[in-house]
């Protein structure tokens, strides 16, 4: 289990002034990317590196948010390596997770061993997302075709009389602005404002649990050296533990819709669960002393039926919300960005626009992989919900314990999670600015 974007209980709804009719606006830039998460940042970087004039709008003043997804999979690291960025990125502090395990009262099962993969990067790099985004923003800023505007909150779409999106209206520190563009890419997360403005609702497929995230200090000398990424099952629940360089990130799972009850009960039940079922963390469970130390991740699995409108494309969680199970959200968003570059970079550079058929092609390529991942996550969520309802601890069946002892099974699990289904490879020829 890995984490994703946290819920925003204060998010606003679209107002009647969100849409601004426009006629024959001359684009100020070729492409506007809304949302500076991993998918939006990589899409903006790749398009700018391909010679497309890109402006990235980020609503916040910085990228520092609690408990956003931290997982950089081998496929992502290989992409960055092909761009000449991986070695420098990995000089920043990060934790290399080789294994995924789950622990029960009767057995510890290793399901995944990334060390068996044939790659320069046989691990998941767990790096705080703001560190990764700051790094990518600095690299993008070196490109003459890239502009980053922070504290730029989109308030409306610019459309012509036929409903073709021609840019955005946004509010910055110095007031309201219009930014005409040939293409708007929405990558502003699971609570996407752009999705609401464009009237492109997402269908939810449900989730059985939410997660309360917090941190506990790491003690290198005494903590398990190979804890990496683990689930610990107890009576009526489980926690996820992810390694960081100086802390452990802990996710306590609660049944969907029970946040109010959990908050009323306070932190004592969580402390007790940690002491009982993760005994090597028992000596610091009391450091979770106040509810303010917890961050709620409202888990969902959802997908927009049509990811595009003329002049507009949604990617990442804006188009398809991924559960935190497996830490696939960042991987899926970045692979969307790769497909955006492969399909759209040339027409944007050569014609200064893209057709709706080209936007549809992005969804056509990526949707089968997203459906595959979400179906697997729906099955996992149903099993998780059953675990949370049970009054006894989960006990893995003997066949599962036996099959996961097979190295090939651990390798297959690692490869599936490391690369995802239908892995897109970057067409590096699109990054040549004068390519035909």
Measured in residues, the chain has a length of 436
166: in domain: yes
Residue 262, in any domain of the structure:
yes
Q: What is the mean pLDDT of residues 253-257?
A: 88
Question: Is 396 a domain residue?
Answer: no
Q: Is the pLDDT of residue 10 over 50?
A: no
Task: Kindly state the tokens that stand for 207.
Answer: 């989730």
Task: Specify if 348 maps to a domain.
Answer: yes
Q: What is the DSSP letter of 14?
A: P
Does one domain contain both 231 and 325?
no
The answer to the question of residue 104 being in a domain is no
How far apart CA 409 and CA 47 sit, in angstroms, is 38
Number of Cβ within a 10 Å radius of residue 383: 10
Interatomic CA distance for residues 318 and 196, integer angstroms: 10
Global confidence as pTM: 0.89
Neighbours of 322 (CB within 10 A): 27
CA dihedral 95, 97, 102, 105 (to 10 degrees): -60
Region 58-64: what's the mean pLDDT? 90
Mean pLDDT for the chain overall: 88
- Residue 296 pLDDT exceeds 70: yes
Q: Domain check: are 191 and 213 in the same one?
A: no
Whether 149 and 56 have beta carbons less than 8 Å apart is answered as yes
Q: Are residues 133 and 186 in the same domain?
A: yes
* Residue at which a domain ends, from 357, 374, 391: 374
**Which residue, 355, 374, 393, sits at the end of a domain?**
374
- Residues 368, 307 within the same domain: yes
Quick check: 97 and 226 in contact, CB under 8 A? no
User: Taken in order 191, 196, 197, 201, is the CA torsion positive or negative?
Assistant: positive
When pLDDT is averaged across residues 24-39 and rounded to a whole number, the result is: 86
Question: What is the band of 9 on the pLDDT scale with cuts at 50, 70, 90?
Answer: very low
Predicted pLDDT of residue 17: 39
User: E-strand spans in 319-374?
Assistant: 320-321
In a domain, 185, yes or no: yes
Number of domains, the chain:
2
- Residue 136 sits in the same domain as residue 152: yes
Could you tell me which residues are beta bridge partners of residue 125? 72, 96
In terms of domains, do 39 and 132 share one? Answer: yes
- At residue 221, does pLDDT exceed 90? no
Answer yes or no: is pLDDT of 67 > 70. Answer: no
Give the confidence band of 381 by pLDDT, cuts at 50, 70, 90. confident
CATH assignment at residue 315: 3.50.50.60
* Tens-digit pLDDT profile for residues 119-167: 999 999 999 899 999 999 999 999 999 999 999 999 999 999 999 999 9
Q: Give yes or no: residues 287 and 140 share one domain.
A: no
Same domain, 292 and 222: yes
Q: How far apart are CA 31 and CA 48, in angstroms?
A: 9
- Judged by average pLDDT, the poorest of 101-105, 306-310, 330-334, 419-423 is 101-105
Confidence of residue 104 (pLDDT cuts 50, 70, 90): confident
Whether residue 292 is found in the same domain as residue 317: no
CA 352 from chain centre, in angstroms, equals 29
Q: Are 318 and 184 members of one domain?
A: yes
Confidence of residue 23 (pLDDT cuts 50, 70, 90): low
Pair 328, 270 in one domain: no
Statement: residue 341 has pLDDT above 70: yes
Query: Of the residues 374, 400, 428, which one is the last residue of a structural domain?
Result: 374
Helix (H) or strand (E) holding 369: helix 356-389
* 342 plus 316 within the same structural domain: yes
Residue 51 lies in a domain: yes
Q: Which domain holds residue 334?
A: 1-7+16-70+128-204+301-374
Name every residue whose Cβ is closer than 8 Å to that of residue 221 and which is 6 or more positions away in sequence.
none
What is the number of alpha carbons within 13 Å of residue 173 lying toward its C-beta? Answer: 6
The CA distance from 186 to 151, in Å, is 16
CB atoms within 10 A of CB 265: 13
Please compute the mean of the pLDDT values over residues 410-435 and round it to a whole number: 87
| pLDDT at residue 70 is higher than 60 | yes
Q: Tell whether 87 is covered by a domain.
A: no
Asked whether the beta carbons of 30 and 240 are under 8 A apart, the reply is no
């Amino acid at each position: 289990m890995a984490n994703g974007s946290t819920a925003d209980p204060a998010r606003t709804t679209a107002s009647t002034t969100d849409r601004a009719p426009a006629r024959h606006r001359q684009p100020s830039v070729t492409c506007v990317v809304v949302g500076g998460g991993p998918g939006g940042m990589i899409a903006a970087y790749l398009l700018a590196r391909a010679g497309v004039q890109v402006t990235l709008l980020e609503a916040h003043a910085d990228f520092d948010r609690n408990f956003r997804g931290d997982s950089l999979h081998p496929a992502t690291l290989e992409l960055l390596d092909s761009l000449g960025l991986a070695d420098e990125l990995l000089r920043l502090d990060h934790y290399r997770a080789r294994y995924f395990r789950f622990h029960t009262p009767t057995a510890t099962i290793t399901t995944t061993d990334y060390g068996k993969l044939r790659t320069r990067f046989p691990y998941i790099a767990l790096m705080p997302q703001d560190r990764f985004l700051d790094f990518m923003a600095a690299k993008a800023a070196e490109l003459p075709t890239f502009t980053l505007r922070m504290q730029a909150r989109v308030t409306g779409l610019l459309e012509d009389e036929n409903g073709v999106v021609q840019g955005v209206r946004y509010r910055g520190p110095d007031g309201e602005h219009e930014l005409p563009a040939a293409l708007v890419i929405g990558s502003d997360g699971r609570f996407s404002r752009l999705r609401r403005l464009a009237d492109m609702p997402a269908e939810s497929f449900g989730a059985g649990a939410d997660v309360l995230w917090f941190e506990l200090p790491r003690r290198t000398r005494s903590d398990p050296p190979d804890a990496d990424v683990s689930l610990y099952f107890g009576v009526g629940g489980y926690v996820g533990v992810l390694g960081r360089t100086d802390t452990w990130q802990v996710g306590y799972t609660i049944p969907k819709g029970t946040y109010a009850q959990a908050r009323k009960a306070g932190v004592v039940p969580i402390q007790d669960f940690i002491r009982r079922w993760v005994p090597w963390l028992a000596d610091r469970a009391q450091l979770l002393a106040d509810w303010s130390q917890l961050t709620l991740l409202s888990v969902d699995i959802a997908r927009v039926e049509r990811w595009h409108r003329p002049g507009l494309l949604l990617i990442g969680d804006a188009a398809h919300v991924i559960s935190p199970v497996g830490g696939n959200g960042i991987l899926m968003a970045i692979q969307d960005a790769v497909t955006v570059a492969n399909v759209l970079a040339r027409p944007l550079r050569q014609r200064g626009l893209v057709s709706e058929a080209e936007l549809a092609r992005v969804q056509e390529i990526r949707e089968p992989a997203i459906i595959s991942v979400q179906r697997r996550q729906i099955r996992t969520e149903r099993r998780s919900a059953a675990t949370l309802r049970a009054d006894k601890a989960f006990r893995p069946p003997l066949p599962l314990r036996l099959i996961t002892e097979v190295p090939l099974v651990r390798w297959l699990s690692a490869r599936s999670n490391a690369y995802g289904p239908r892995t897109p490879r970057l067409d590096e020829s699109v990054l040549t600015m004068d390519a035909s």
